[in-house]
Amino acid sequence: MYKIVNKKQLNPTVTMMDIYAPLVAQKALAGQFIILRVDEDGERIPLTVAGCDKQNGTVKIIFQIVGGTTIRLNAKEQGEYISDFVGPLGRPTKTDGIKKACIVGGGVGCAIALPVAARLKELGCEVHSIIGFRNKDLVILEEEFSACSDRLTIMTDDGSYGRQGVVTAPLKEAIESGENYDEVIAIGPLVMMKFVVATTKPYNVPTTVSMNPIMIDGTGMCGGCRLTVGGKMKFACVDGPDFDGFEVDFDEAMQRASMYADFERAEREASCNLFKKEAQ
């Protein structure tokens, strides 16, 4: 059992937790993930490590409340426990040798992008960050990104905060103005990463994307997280989650991601109804 030592609502749909898992905290690096189960009968879900406190033995996770399992996880309070917390899994983000980078995060993907930006800054890299949200109420981690970025641009779809528009607009402006990035690292919705790659590819700016498809065991045995990268089958859990964005078949990935939408919707409704009954 793994204790929730801290819980904080970042916005109405996103929650941050610190989980006491000292063995994971000692080993986890930026870009890696864990797989957890809320209870013994629960499903396994992957969540990226959003930070570690090695001294206190805690691992930070940030998740969006979108399905049955995240509803159950969000119902847990500080001081309570979750059943399983396994990791670190996957390959860490490659940061060595990068002198200037642009980190592009979308929505809750910013939770994954933040430790990468922080690690690059720690290594002496010049970090430009662009983070995008639907509106002001959904903005998260602004202070944290500001602390590890030499330049921070916030975009909102409706213009209620920062600049109005999509994250690719300031990225394209920066590239065309002469910013020579060693690497662009994009983390967020599949469609966002697809268009980031479409923005950088004409300028041949190396672009890494973080893929988070359906996962079950996290060890490459089930094949649920398979992707087509460079015309070859890859498994996000063991070969990634980071891949060369120029080589990812995003259309296939988006099609696979939508396969279980109806099932997830039913699970979300069932979980909501369960908690309503318990509250009565």
Per the structure block, which two tokens stand in for 82? 């979750």
pLDDT at 275 over 60: no
**Residue 41 confidence class, pLDDT cut points 50, 70, 90:** confident
Question: Both ends of the chain: CA-CA distance in Å?
Answer: 28
Q: What is the pLDDT of residue 122?
A: 93
Helices 250-257 and 190-200 pack at an angle, to 10 degrees, of 170
Q: What pLDDT, in 10s, does the model give residues 85-98?
A: 998 998 999 988 99
Sheet holding 2-11, edge to edge: 81-82, 2-11, 14-20, 58-64, 45-53, 33-37, 84-89
**Backbone CA torsion sign across 181, 187, 188, 192:** positive
Q: What is the pLDDT of residue 269?
A: 61
**Residue 165 confidence class, pLDDT cut points 50, 70, 90:** very high
Per the structure block, which two tokens stand in for 91? 């390959």
* Radius of gyration for the chain, computed over Cα atoms and rounded to the nearest angstrom: 18
Cite the DSSP H helix spans in 100-209. 110-122, 142-148, 168-176, 190-200
The CATH number for 2-89, chosen from 3.10.129.10, 3.40.50.1970, 2.40.37.10, 2.40.30.10, is 2.40.30.10
pLDDT at 270 over 60: no
Cα(130)–Cα(169) distance, integer angstroms: 10
CA distances, 94 to each of 155, 184, 236, 240 (Å): 26, 12, 15, 11
Listed by start position, the domains of the chain span 2-89, 100-210
Q: What is the pLDDT of residue 274?
A: 53
Closest CA to 225 of 50, 104, 46: 46
Cα(245)–Cα(135) distance, integer angstroms: 27
Q: Which of 26-35, 45-54, 173-182 is modeled with the greatest confidence?
A: 173-182
pTM: 0.85
Q: Is 64 helix (H, G, I), strand (E, B) or coil?
A: strand
Beta strand 45-53 with 33-37 is antiparallel
Please compute, for residue 218, the number of CA atoms within 13 A of its CA located in the half-sphere on the CB side. Answer: 19
Cα(136)–Cα(153) distance, integer angstroms: 14
Closest CA to 12 of 136, 108, 138, 112: 138
Q: What is the pLDDT of residue 243?
A: 94
Per the structure block, which two tokens stand in for 36? 């957890």
Q: What is the pLDDT of residue 256?
A: 79
pLDDT at 126 over 70: yes
In this structure, whether the domain defined by 100-210 belongs to CATH 3.40.50.80 is answered with yes
